[in-house]
Amino acid sequence: MIKLNHQNYYRLPWNLTDNSITWLEPTAKCNLACVGCYRKNLKNGHKSLEEVKEEIRLLNKYRRTDGISIAGGEPLLHPNIIDIVKEVKNCGLKPIINTNGFTLTKDFLLELKKAGVFGFTFHIDSKQRRPGWLEANELELNELRYHYAKMLSEVGDIACSFNSTVYRDTLQYIPGMVKWAEENIDIVNVMVFILYRMANNKLYDFFIGPYPVNSAELVYNIQPEDVVDIKAEEVYELIKNQDPEFDSCAYLNGTSDPESFKWLLSIKLATKRKRYGYMGSKGIEIIQTFHHLFTGKYLAYTRPKTQAKGKSLLLLGAFDKKLRKIFFKYFRNPLNIFRKLYTQSIMIIQPIDIMEDGRQNMCDGCPDITIWNGKLVWSCRMEEQLNYAFNVQAYPKDLKERIEEQKRKYQKMT
């Protein structure tokens, strides 16, 4: 597996109180049953509109943010989703709906646009048990992805993103999904790959303070026997084998492992005909810095019409050698002055890792922080809050032996 040096990339400056995105969960009810989902499907999972408004108020109080990801559960099932989108919009934030898209129609989309929706992130993968697509693999699901991307483009001015949970047996399809996204770069703005994680009760015991916890009660403890955690570097290497110019420009590290890549961002520049390269670390640093300087917020999502103006980013080539290379490559053909140069983001997300000593390596500066009982919590660990009111701690099953071994080593030193 390739070894990436985090010092070659821009460390995104997001933190707990000043971030690009914030997570809102108006419901825990869902119409699909995805393998590996981190949230239990609750048939009575809808929060009241008043509760949701209070959570939005608290998110505004605790976090400076560019947009709010309205998630769940399946947010389009919430009876007040139009009002929720309006409320987020009225707070001066970008409403982004994270959905499986199952109930989205053209008329519903037009209502959401009128309410102020900024963009959609469609979660589509082969482990969703989606009616009509039960036997489809990730590449065959590109047909469904295209359906939603086309719908958004026809309505116009709505950001379009896709994410997929990646398992060991679906890892092979990532290069094909990246290729498909590039072929549709005019209507697909972002592709996100989320690497599957689970609570490993074979190697660790779980506690809250002195009290043992049955990790089988957590929905993300369930997994096939052959699942092994995938690293961000594996996905990076797969894409690079297909496209030797592929590289990332920015990342978030972990809370316990500074060299880990929890969010790994790449930004591609291409026309409908040809790929020209990828933005470097200086380019994204300038964009984030100046956006924060002039708006007070770090940038998350942009409009499709903005992503079709990739030529303007080439001016940053004065500072970013990769963009400078693209500039000369692109304008080698004088006719390109009349063509649109698009940008497209590829994000690899590596959720919680349990380290050898039991420490939980979370996303440092995580954008997916949400509200629970008036407090900021990690959305991916909400089930722990709901079950136990606290986050669970992990300890190696051979902890006693390790302690005794360390004592012996220390005694020898003294």
Judge whether 125 and 141 are in contact, CB under 8 Å: yes
Per the listing, tokens 């309505």 go with 155
Q: Tell me how far apart the alpha carbons of residues 316 and 289 are, in angstroms, rounded to a whole number.
A: 13
Domain boundaries, position 95:
8-407
Model confidence pLDDT, tens digit, residues 364-400: 999 999 999 999 999 999 989 998 999 999 999 998 8
The verdict on residue 1 lying in a domain is no
- Give me the mean pLDDT over the 31-36 stretch: 87
187 in a structural domain = yes
The 10s digit of each residue's pLDDT in 69-123 is 999 999 999 999 999 999 999 999 999 999 999 999 999 999 999 999 999 999 9
**Are the CB atoms for 24 and 370 separated by under 8 Å?**
yes
Is 29 inside any structural domain?
yes
Q: Residue 344 sits in a domain of what CATH number?
A: 3.20.20.70
Give domain status of residue 3, yes or no. Answer: no
| Residue 303 domain flag | yes
CB 159 within 8 A of CB 118: yes
Residue in 399, 393, 381, 396 with CA at minimum distance from that of residue 197:
381
Candidate from 26-35, 115-124, 181-190, 226-235 with smallest mean pLDDT: 226-235
Query: 369-372 and 159-166: which strand pairing?
Result: unpaired
pLDDT tens digit sequence for 238-279: 999 999 999 999 999 999 999 999 999 999 999 999 999 999
Q: What is the pLDDT of residues 348-367, one digit of tens each?
A: 999 999 898 999 999 999 99
Q: In the chain, how many domains are there? A: 1
> How far, in Å, CA of 367 to CA of 303, rounded?
19
d(CA 213, CA 262): 26
DSSP three-state, residue 15: coil
The pLDDT, as a whole number, for residue 98 is 98
Q: Is the pLDDT of residue 14 over 90?
A: yes
What distance, in Å, lies between the first and last C-alpha atoms of the chain? 40
State the pLDDT confidence band at 37, using cuts at 50, 70 and 90.
Answer: confident
Closest to 27 measured CA to CA, from 8, 13, 49, 45: 45
Residue 2 lies in a domain: no
Q: Is residue 188 part of a domain?
A: yes
Q: What is the pTM of this model?
A: 0.95
Cite the beta strand spans of 150-254 per DSSP E.
159-166, 190-195, 204-208, 211-213, 250-252
pLDDT one-digit tens code per residue, 219-245 = 666 554 555 689 999 999 999 999 999
User: Which two tokens mark 54?
Assistant: 């209070």
